[in-house]
Amino acid sequence: MTGTPRIAVVTYDPRGEEHKDRDLPVLVAALRAAGADAVAVPWDDPAADWAAFDLALIRSTWDYSWRAEEFTAWAERCGKATRLANPVGVVRWNADKRYLGQLAEAGVPTVPTRYFAPGDPVELPAESEFVVKPASGAGARYAARHPAGERDAAERQVERMHAEGFTVMVQPYLSSIDTHGERALQFFGGRLLHASVKGAVLAPGTPYDADKVAHPDLRRWEPTPAELAVAEQALAAVPVDADLLYARVDLVTGPDGEPCVMELELIEPNLFLDLHPDSVPPVVRAVLAAAD
């Protein structure tokens, strides 16, 4: 590439409402200040000419899980027109949370998870608190925390999700989330960028179809050596042959007191740059290198 790099910072269309990505204007402005021709573009903008960009950087496409097939088809088209980060193979693999099973098979400590596709008989835990959520989702959408032995509300939730075509995930609720929170280790350009910790997202009794606060009580965090080791193990186990420009590994404390993977965010993880403004320069450098 020669001349000024053209970078599409890919987001969602707020459709007249306030945009939820507070980092978006900060990142676009920082890229422009560094010499790039950067612009925020909704992924579903029919007028977007993706071939006109040197890089399409997926950032806050936070409505994609409602339209997963449409989004994956867009990623396929965009990846043929220009460089897409992260690449379409990563998008396709990470859009379905059954990837947790693949990580577990590779020896990565993960939250134990069972999957039930539409039509499958569903087994709900009888002796422990548990979580039911869709295998394709974001921001705790359609997720709920149920008391031990509770069946009626959980069964209604499963019926609703199966009727809409979702594969259902059932996990034990780890009480450590209430005391130690969830730790998010953010990687960019192949290196640890920063880490954050947030409080419990799922409050007892909150209906599955209620809106949740995705990142309550968010604050900076210094990851432990054990957390960093598990995060790096998870990233090394990704079976897609592609360089990851960015990744976020969400960890919780397992029953054994050791960190385990709750989610591996490779599509559109929030970077929390407002909490970590010192991370803006290394992000800009990595993005410009990817566009070169």
Catalytic residues: 219, 248, 265
**What would the two tokens of residue 21 be?**
């990505």
Beta-carbon contacts of 48 under 8 Å, excluding residues fewer than 6 positions away, are: 8, 41, 42
Distance between CA atoms of residues 131 and 113, nearest Å:
10
Beta-carbon contacts of 225 under 8 Å, excluding residues fewer than 6 positions away, are: none
Helical residues (DSSP H) of 13-138, grouped into ranges: 23-33, 68-81, 88-94, 99-105
Distances, alpha carbon 199 to alpha carbons 22, 70, 180, 256, 262, in Å:
20, 32, 8, 20, 14
Phi/psi region, residue 190 (left: phi>0; alpha: psi -120 to 50; beta: rest), is: left
**What would the two tokens of residue 8 be?**
């599409």
User: How are beta strands 144-146 and 83-85 bridged, if at all?
Assistant: unpaired
Distance between CA atoms of residues 115 and 98, nearest Å:
7
Per the listing, tokens 């990704």 go with 238
